[in-house]
Chains A and B, each alone.
Chain A
Amino acid sequence: MDIVAQLTKIFREVFDDEEINLTREMTADEVDGWDSLSHINLIVTIEVRFNIKFSQAELPTFRNVGDLIDSIQRKVAA
């Protein structure tokens, strides 16, 4: 499964919404329930499933799903 498909699955699970279809431009405002409280579950699930780790400093730099995908791609490749 490629990263986007895996990430879509994670988003659907975390935000409990089977309708979510990720696009690179998607932001937190467009996903119901994606706030700074639920953000932690998203980040931790991504970290565990992809076996990667985000640094505290880079978390606020994700402006949209595209930034998140790029960061995962870089970390998985490294």
Chain B
Amino acid sequence: MNFTSPVFLFAFLPLVLGIYWLLPPRIRPVFLLVSSLGFYAWGETQYLFTLIVTIAINSLFVATLDRCQDPSRRRRLLFGSIAANLLLLFACKYPELTRSLADYGGLNLTAFMPLHLPLGISFFTFQAIAYTVDVYQRKHAPVFNPLQLSLFLAMFPKISAGPIIRHDEAAEALKTAKVSMDDCAYGAKRFILGLGKKLLIADTLALTADQIFAIPDNELTAPLAWLGIVCYTLQLYFDFSGYSDMAIGLGRMLGFRFRENFNYPYIARSLTEFWRRWHLSLSSWFRDYLYSPLLYSLMTEKVRQKIARGEYRTNYRSLACIVVVFTLCGWWHGPTWNFIIWGLLHGLFLAAESWKLGKLLKKAPSPISHGYALLVITLSWAFFRSPTLTGALAYLKALAGCGIGTGLQYNLALYLDAELLLVLAVAVVAAMPSAGFLRQRLALAWPAAMTRWPGALLETGAVTAVLLLSLLSVANSTYQPFIYFRF
């Protein structure tokens, strides 16, 4: 089920929230699990099996791991569990390859192969791996209650595309499921803002981005290519951060505090800063469960002594690790050269920044560092968005002004209308922390008014307007799934 579909907005959500709030707190988790399974099974009944298998595998491995005292056996169990999770993810992401590999081994898996990627599989698999590693490292005790573990992995607000939460953050709420009035109000506001980001901004920009990226390579001109990439850059942010706002808001209305996923990424002054602001729950997952273990395993005694003597100031192994990890992160998005190149590019720029570039950027005037970061981020989205490598390269050529389009059949006037200009302007302003800035300014100018009812009224008015406009657009628009549901 999609958060922006009428069935979710007008039937599932009001019904689930209403019943949840009326139930006594100790019954709430059971009800939430049942509704989450219903949410998942909606239109995807056959994939419920994948989710249940993931829950079963992880609870079995973790229970055995927790009882085991022998360090080498614990290690084997940890790797066994990670391998089982990744194998399932691999089989779902590459059904054709898996089927041929199984055929080769004399197994017929045709009946089990998914027709499309099961919803949210990457996200609940990553969460399950984090949980297992945390128990292995004795960061927290395992969850013995199967209801709590299932709910932790399958909770509907975040099952489709995260945020990838860690168990210790949700442990308390999984037990008590208490919701205050403030939680409800804040959650509802976050959900509405996310709905507006997706329906009013992302989906409008998507129309133009899709049209421009569909223009034949030999018809692209530089102005068109720039309009397309700017629309896509903003679309991706509003689509995914809108989804995240909705997920965080829904969680809050049910008594859960999920970690933040975005923090105005496009105001970053370097790629390093960008990754501290973009898809945080995924980048911190890659850092904690892939990059750090990989890097620490490469620190041999010889290297450690060199570092301590100050003779290995540039840690080449960490630079190599970041490139490898980001390339893998790119590959995770999809089995195409474009995603791999996108990840590799980000890895290389991050390594360059950690090596020397970062210090230069710190000294540079802020327009230069902002310009550098935005340029690298925007241009790399060309690989992310284009379906083929030749398409991406032709697109970059057009951006550089070397396109061969004549502009006769496809030109800027076809796409750039008043509606798009308005949405682009709103998107640029909303991609920066403008609301906070405005609130601060208003509070300075009219301190009395802003702390009392006019301030609250202004905010409520704005949120209500976003809600009304979004609901209008649900009625009028065609269905546009969230971008990150495909990963």
| Partner-B contacts on A (CB < 8 A) | 13-14, 16, 32-33, 35-38, 40-41, 44-45, 47-49, 55-57, 59-60
Smallest Cβ-Cβ distance to A38: which chain B residue: B354
Smallest Cβ-Cβ distance to A47: which chain B residue: B304
Do A32 and B362 have beta carbons less than 8 Å apart? yes
Q: How far is the CA of A37 from the CA of B319 in the complex (A)?
A: 7
Smallest Cβ-Cβ distance to A55: which chain B residue: B137
Interface residues on B, range: 20 to 34
B67 at the interface (CB under 8 A from A): no
Q: How far is the CA of A41 from the CA of B362 in the complex (A)?
A: 21
* Cβ distance B364 to chain A, nearest Cβ, rounded Å: 13
Q: How far is the CA of A10 from the CA of B313 in the complex (A)?
A: 12
Smallest Cβ-Cβ distance to B304: which chain A residue: A44
Smallest Cβ-Cβ distance to A60: which chain B residue: B288
CB pairs A–B below 8 angstroms (30 shown): A14-B313, A32-B359, A32-B362, A35-B358, A36-B292, A36-B322, A37-B351, A38-B315, A38-B318, A40-B295, A40-B296, A40-B307, A40-B318, A41-B307, A41-B312, A41-B315, A41-B318, A44-B299, A44-B304, A44-B307, A44-B308, A45-B308, A45-B310, A47-B304, A48-B304, A48-B305, A56-B292, A56-B296, A57-B139, A60-B288
B287 at the interface (CB under 8 A from A): yes
Contact with A along B284-295 (1 / 0, CB 8 A): 000110011101
B452 at the interface (CB under 8 A from A): no
Do A45 and B292 have beta carbons less than 8 Å apart? no
Q: Which residues of B contact A16 (CB under 8 A)?
A: 313
How many residue pairs bridge A and B at CB < 8 Å?
63
* Cβ distance A9 to chain B, nearest Cβ, rounded Å: 11
Smallest Cβ-Cβ distance to B298: which chain A residue: A40
Q: Could you say which of A13, A33, A44, A59 contacts B359, with CB atoms under 8 Å apart?
A: A33
Q: How far is the CA of A45 from the CA of B291 in the complex (A)?
A: 19
| Partner-A contacts on B (CB < 8 A) | 134, 137-139, 272, 287-288, 291-293, 295-296, 299, 303-305, 307-308, 310, 312-313, 315, 318-319, 322, 350-351, 354, 358-359, 362
Q: Could you say which of A33, A37, A40 contacts B299, with CB atoms under 8 Å apart?
A: A40
Q: Which residues of B contact A60 (CB under 8 A)?
A: 288
Q: Which residues of A contact B305 (CB under 8 A)?
A: 48
* Cβ distance B131 to chain A, nearest Cβ, rounded Å: 13
Q: Which residues of A contact B351 (CB under 8 A)?
A: 37
Q: Which residues of B contact A59 (CB under 8 A)?
A: 292
Q: How far is the CA of A41 from the CA of B295 in the complex (A)?
A: 11
* Cβ distance A28 to chain B, nearest Cβ, rounded Å: 10
Q: How far is the CA of A35 from the CA of B310 in the complex (A)?
A: 18
Contacts A16-B313, A37-B351 supplied; 18 other A-B pairs, CB < 8 Å: A14-B313, A32-B362, A33-B354, A35-B354, A36-B292, A37-B354, A38-B318, A40-B318, A44-B303, A45-B308, A45-B310, A47-B308, A48-B304, A48-B307, A48-B308, A56-B137, A56-B293, A60-B288
Q: Which residues of B contact A13 (CB under 8 A)?
A: 310
* Cβ distance A56 to chain B, nearest Cβ, rounded Å: 6
Smallest Cβ-Cβ distance to B321: which chain A residue: A37
Do B296 and A33 have beta carbons less than 8 Å apart? no
